Amino acid sequence: MRMLLLRCLLVLVATGTVLASQTALAGDPTYKPVEGFVPTDDVAISIAVAIWGPIYGADQIAHEKPYHAKLIGGVWWVFGSLPPGYFGGVAEARIQKIDGRVLGVIHGK
């Protein structure tokens, strides 16, 4: 009986600790992941595509695959590409790695 009470107490303490830590993260407006909110090129590309679609049209953006991203000075530079032999511009976006802020969006001609 004593072991059962001890186990129940341990479960309650562990659960409370986990819930408290999750609540602190969710409620802390200054929380920033160590690697930033946009840690990889895949995340940066996903954000850029989500932004480009409503602006330039999903069909237009789909024709600009594959997308590329390069991290320069804490900013992701994301851009589309054109098929070989095509001339013109592509969608471009600059996204801050640490907080995901969109610094600029443009489409070349």
What confidence category does residue 102 fall into, taking pLDDT thresholds of 50, 70 and 90? very high
Q: Yes or no: say if 78 and 100 are a contact pair by the CB < 8 Å rule.
A: no
Q: Yes or no: say if 92 and 106 are a contact pair by the CB < 8 Å rule.
A: yes
């840690």: which residue's tokens? 39
The CATH class of 41-107 is alpha beta
User: What tens digit of pLDDT does each residue of 47-64 get?
Assistant: 999 999 999 999 999 999
In the predicted model, what is the mean pLDDT of residues 57-86? 95
User: What tens digit of pLDDT does each residue of 5-32 get?
Assistant: 445 444 444 444 444 444 456 677 888 8
- Whole-number pLDDT of residue 14: 42
Q: What is the pTM of this model?
A: 0.72
